Structure 1
């Protein structure tokens, strides 16, 4: 696995300074490089459909709900701000993937629902995206997957902000 150039430079400096546990530093940089590669590939996969990861997540939430949802609920479920949701919804609306409707109970409030085109794209992209994600670990045995999961959990427990 190739490290991103910035990590190679940092690793070289760590080696020059004889820092303790250079191997641990290298593992961290490999993990960060892998995550960046996955993010880039994900963006490429979604860009074919004119989607960002944020837009995709909102489409999926709406598709899974099977009914209209208030922007506030979308923000909560996606773990993003309402302002971010508004921007993402503007783009989805321009692409005619969603429609905004006044809430029948409170006309000041909005409900968001997928258009027919939005439902079709959501299903197609989710199916394709799920296959792609699964393929990333396709060459690992069940035992290796469990081992990797355990190791990632163990490392995650070292992060103070957990």
Structure 2
């Protein structure tokens, strides 16, 4: 119950912050995924396919299409044909999307830092290790066949 309560509270804090910037959690996640290479020292943000973005974000392809549609309408991303596969599209963050992300990230990271501040480096590593173990358990639980409910 403590884990579920903590997750709900984390989501509420994140949602409240993102609402102040008029962006949904899903749309923000897409912008973060598209902006990731800049943090890794690349010259420009990577272009990614919608299917790759959906897998990285843990959402369906249909959900990702809706997120990209809205971000494109707002001018934060653009789609263009994949030069290696004419049937596929790539999604790029636009300068407007980069500027928005750069404006929002400092406040976002301050909140994350405040949340994580009570943990020292060893505890943060241990927390990550335990979360990864939980994710393994969650994946395994999704594959378990449950008996049908009784019809008594």
Residue equivalent to 2:46:
67
Cα distance in 1, alignment partners of residues 85 and 128 from structure 2: 48
- Give secondary structure in 2 for the equivalent of 1:100: strand
Residue equivalent to 1:43:
15
TM-score, normalised via structure 2 length: 0.71
Once the two structures are superposed, residues 116-156 of structure 1 have per-residue CA deviations (whole angstroms, 9 ceiling, x without a partner) of: 0101112232332122112013244556x359739956x94
RMSD between superposed Cα atoms in Å: 2.9
Which of 45, 49, 52 is residue 24 of structure 2 equivalent to?
52
* Cα gap change, 1:135 to 1:101, in 2 (>3 Å): same
TM-score, normalised via structure 1 length: 0.67
Q: Report the Cα offset of residue 84 of structure 1.
A: 1.0
* Alignment gaps of 5+ in structure 1: 1-27
Residues 1:117 and 2:101 are matched in the alignment: no
Which of 15, 19, 32 is residue 4 of structure 2 equivalent to?
32
Residue equivalent to 2:77:
98
Residues 1:81 and 2:38 are matched in the alignment: no
CA contact (8 A) 1:93 1:99 kept: yes
Cα distance in 2, alignment partners of residues 150 and 74 from structure 1: 22
Cα distance in 2, alignment partners of residues 109 and 147 from structure 1: 38
* Cα gap change, 1:135 to 1:112, in 2 (>3 Å): same
User: Which protein has the larger Cα radius of gyration, Structure 1 or Structure 2?
Assistant: 1
Moved over 6 A (4+): 157-160
Cα distance in 2, alignment partners of residues 50 and 107 from structure 1: 34
Q: Report the Cα offset of residue 48 of structure 1.
A: 1.9
Cα distance in 2, alignment partners of residues 158 and 76 from structure 1: 19
Q: Report the Cα offset of residue 39 of structure 1.
A: 0.7
Residue equivalent to 2:141:
161
Report the count of equivalent residues.
132
